[in-house]
Structure 1
Amino acid sequence: MSSQNPTAILIIHGAFFLPSSWQPLINTLAQSQQYTIRCPHLPSCGDERPPKATRDDDIAAVRTAAKELIDMGHNILVLAHSYGGIVACEAITKDLYAHANGNGIVSLLLLSTWLIQPGHTFEDVITKYGLPGEVDVGNNGDGTVFAKNAPASFYNDIGDPVVAGELAKENVTHNWVAGPGKINGAPWMDLPTMYVFCRRDLAILLPLQRCMVRDALDAGGRARFVTEEIDSGHCPFLSMPVEVVRVVNKAVEEFD
């Protein structure tokens, strides 16, 4: 194994989710006993109302988890999902990279994430490419938003509508203030990165995923950037965790 091979996985979850949503995947990954796994709670997700947490708090939570893993001697694969891609771009800065004689972050796996160019915003992407998906976003009027149609937009590949409905009960509010704002970072320009297209995703539609990746490839960078596809909806970590483990292992092998 390469000295740069990851020994830990840092999961950055999406806006309407909690770390508990990732437990099926964490359990599947843990069976191999190959990785130490962390999935810190992003404070803007499921925040009190009116909300107090911002994107800066989400960034701080990720950086704290990364530094703890680095202090433990790990090299880290960061696995970001959906809004987690926005947090990753701001939280994963060069001081957290693995350098010649030290541990740190060695690669990224972006699972149907928002991939926004430095200097641009979420709104810029929507203006350029149109509506992102079929999530019917409800506004609580206090700064928090929620998914009105989570069973249909997040769990369309589950198959059993009863199970999809039960999963939707676990979704939480998101502090909308945490989402907008200019993106400054682009760790995918420096670190080996795999973007995983979710073909049946109704929250971030496949054409939009492809457009954001095309923009990233056009922007260039010093690192290897590859893509993979899975036939899933927005949450394959729930609907097909074994398939997500496959792409995790493929990312590790790809960048060895």
Structure 2
Amino acid sequence: MSDQSPTAILIIHGAYFLPSSWQPLINGLSHSQFTIRCPRLPSCGDERPPKATLDDDVAAVRTAAKELINAGHNILVLAHSYGGIVASEAITEELYPNSNRKGIVSLVLLSAWLIQPGDTLEDVIKKYGFQCEVELGNNGDGTVFAKNAPSSFYNDIDPVVAWELAKENVTHNWFAASGKITRAPWKDIPTLYVFCLRDLAIMVPLQRSMVQDAVDAGGDARFVTEEIDSGHCPFVSRPEEVVRVVEKALRGLE
């Protein structure tokens, strides 16, 4: 293991999920030597009307990253869905390793929003269309929820199990995802984007379009892709496949 190899994995979950959703993947990684953290994003399942914003989510991720760095870990960040927006804003130069300490050394984006600096999620949707089968319900107080989560988030899972999983989904402060992106850590650190081929929440043509925009924008870091034959939540339906791509990202640093 090189001095730049990760010894910790920092998971950034998506908008309608909680850290508990990631337990199947965490269990799959339990045999490894990695320290794993998945901080709760405050904008997910917050009070109604919601109080937490993207800034609060970014702060939660940065706090967890600094704790891991202070404990002597290099970090692989694994971001899913809305977590891609949080990752873009949370990962800054001060969290990269230097001669005095460890830091964030790689990024895995799992069917995540990958938005260019200066753009918003709305800009991406206007450019490529709303390639999504999630039926959003609006509570009228700034929070939204997935009305058809079993079929849109868990379409590759047994329907009975999907209904049970959907009960754990939470509301999200829609405004947390609406701000302008200011950073692009994928230009600085090795990044692997995982296409989820049966995803109905961020459909694969949209995933590919966002990745192509990132590749066209350039940068100094390696940007590679991988595929999983899954719906939006392979950390639940295909945790062994997510472990495989994480291991691929780790090998890429050797």
TM band (smaller chain): over 0.9
Residue 11 of structure 2 corresponds to 11
Aligned to 1:75: 74
Q: Which residue of 2 aligns with 1:108?
A: 107
Shift, 1:177, TM fit: 1.3
> What RMSD in Å do the two structures reach over aligned CA positions?
0.7
Within 5 Å, give how 1:41-190 maps onto structure 2: 41-158=40-157, 160-190=158-188
Gapped runs of 5+ residues in structure 2?
Answer: none
Aligned to 1:220: 218
Instruction: Compute the TM-score of the two structures, normalised by the length of structure 1.
Output: 0.98
Q: 1:147-200 CA distances to partner (integer Å, 9 max, x unpaired)?
A: 000000000011x11000000000000011111010001000000000000000
Residue equivalent to 2:22: 22
**What CA distance in whole angstroms lies between the structure 1 residues aligned with 2:98 and 2:159?**
47
**Residue 238 of structure 2 aligns with which residue?**
240
Letter in 1 for 2:178: P
Residue 100 (structure 1) shift: 3.6
* Identity across the alignment (%): 78
Structure 1 runs of 4+ with >6 Å offset: none
CA distance in 2, matches of 1:111, 1:120: 20
Q: 1:121: Cα distance to partner?
A: 0.4
TM-score (norm 2): 0.99
Partners in 1 of 2:131 and 2:29 — Cα distance? 30
- Aligned residue for 1:203, secondary structure, equals coil
Structure 1 residue corresponding to 2:228, chosen from 230, 245, 254: 230
Report the residue type matching 1:179 in the other structure: A
Size of the alignment, in residue pairs?
Answer: 254
Alpha-carbon distance in 1 for matches of 2:242, 2:50: 32
Deviation at 1:255, TM superposition (A): 2.3
C-alpha deviation, 1:31, in angstroms: 1.9
Give the distance between the partners of 2:12 and 2:190, measured in 1 at CA: 17
Partner SS, residue 226 of structure 2: strand
